[in-house]
């Protein structure tokens, strides 16, 4: 299983979302983080199972949360952004 690299901007996305969910209901931020970790494990196991959405960038959707992980596959998967699905669809392009 390949290690997944999470860029600092994506780490900030995760923290921001987890804090927001935690402020809405105790424990919900932890659930968000757990769903993220589970999806990252799937990305590590088989990154090509997720659709390519452009410029070599792939997207994986979190379960139960309206967020997507945007990543590229180089020597190992690299997460470039973790964004709410209502954000402009080109937002991840600024992270390349």
- pLDDT score recorded for residue 1: 55
- Asked if the 5-95 domain carries CATH number 3.40.720.10, the reply is no
Asked whether the predicted pLDDT for residue 72 surpasses 80, the reply is: yes
With beta carbons less than 8 A apart as the criterion, state whether 93 and 55 touch: yes
**What's the half-sphere exposure (Cβ side, CA atoms, 13 Å) at 40?**
19
Task: Enumerate the H helices of the chain as residue ranges.
Answer: 8-24, 28-45
CA dihedral for 91, 68, 86, 33, sign (positive or negative) = negative
Q: Per-residue pLDDT tens for 35-61?
A: 999 999 999 999 999 999 988 999 999
Q: Per-residue pLDDT tens for 6-30?
A: 999 999 999 999 999 999 999 999 9
| Closest CA relative to residue 53, chosen from 79, 80, 89 | 89
Parse the chain into domains and list their residue ranges.
Answer: 5-95
Confidence at 96, pLDDT banded by 50, 70, 90: confident
């Amino acid at each position: 299983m390949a290690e997944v690299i999470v860029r600092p901007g994506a780490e900030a996305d995760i923290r921001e979302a987890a804090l927001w969910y935690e402020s809405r209901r105790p424990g919900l931020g932890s659930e968000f983080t757990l769903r993220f970790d589970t999806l990252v494990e799937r990305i590590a196991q088989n990154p090509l199972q997720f659709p390519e959405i452009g410029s070599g960038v792939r997207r994986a959707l979190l379960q139960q949360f309206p967020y997507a992980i945007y990543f590229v596959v180089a020597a190992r998967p690299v997460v470039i952004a973790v964004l709410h699905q209502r954000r402009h669809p080109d937002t991840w392009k600024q992270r390349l």
